[in-house]
């Protein structure tokens, strides 16, 4: 990045830019501007990916940011690329629950539900990871229990509705949107209504 010589500062700046673009994309989705939202989300994914250059191992939040942005943008090949980068970086072998979650999302994007379910089953019993998110991912990966998925995704939405703070101050249940996008591919999507979701 021109004008920034410190690699750590450059990574932080790129991450902030990614967050800002992601927030702008979510705002556009909430306004019913899907095309413009996809453009901003694509920019966010690029910034997150650039922020990984020289980043320390275990920067899983940036991988998740890129994955979520690509999933919400509806970009198939680009989302597949983000998923493969995440797995190539060793997310599945991570001891961190965030890394394991990144791997589970990556496998769901790639359609490898067996691997996604194994990781989700580990996440849903951990005390350092939201059980409702682990349940929703597990139900997605199972692909057969729509009622179980609906119950889990409603719990995830409820947790967002109880929050006071949101990324970039944009009140959107983005994890719900991401999981719903993956659920639509599996014909499991729930009918949800909330001020935190697009109409």
Distance CA 19, CA 14 (A): 9
CATH architecture of residue range(s) 7-185: Alpha Horseshoe (1.25)
Indicate the pTM of the whole model: 0.93
The pLDDT assigned to 54 comes to 81
Q: What is the pLDDT of residues 37-87, one digit of tens each?
A: 999 999 999 999 999 988 888 899 999 999 999 999 987 899 999 999 999
The pLDDT assigned to 55 comes to 85
Query: How do the domains of the chain map onto residue ranges?
Result: 7-185
Low-confidence ranges of the chain (pLDDT < 70): 1-5
**Percent helix, strand and coil across the chain, each rounded to 5?**
70, 0, 30
Quick one: 76 exposed, middle or buried, by C-beta within 10 A (0-12, 13-18, 19+)? exposed
């Amino acid at each position: 990045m021109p004008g920034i010589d410190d690699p750590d500062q450059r990574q932080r700046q790129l991450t902030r830019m990614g967050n800002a673009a992601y927030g702008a994309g979510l705002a556009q989705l909430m306004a019913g501007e899907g095309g413009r939202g996809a453009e901003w989300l694509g920019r966010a994914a690029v910034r997150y990916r650039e922020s990984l250059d020289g980043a320390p191992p275990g920067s899983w939040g940036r991988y998740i940011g890129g994955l979520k942005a690509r999933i919400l943008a509806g970009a198939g090949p680009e989302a597949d690329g983000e998923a493969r980068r995440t797995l190539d970086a060793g997310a599945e072998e991570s001891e961190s629950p965030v890394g394991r979650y990144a791997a589970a999302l990556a496998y769901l994007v790639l359609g490898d539900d067996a691997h996604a379910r194994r990781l989700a089953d580990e996440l849903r019993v951990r005390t350092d990871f939201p059980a409702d998110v682990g349940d929703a991912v597990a139900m997605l990966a199972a692909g057969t229990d729509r009622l179980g998925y609906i119950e889990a995704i409603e719990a995830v939405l409820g947790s967002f509705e109880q929050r006071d703070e949101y990324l970039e101050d944009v009140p959107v249940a983005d994890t719900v949107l991401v999981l719903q996008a993956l659920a639509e591919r599996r014909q499991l999507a729930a009918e949800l209504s909330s001020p935190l979701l697009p109409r």
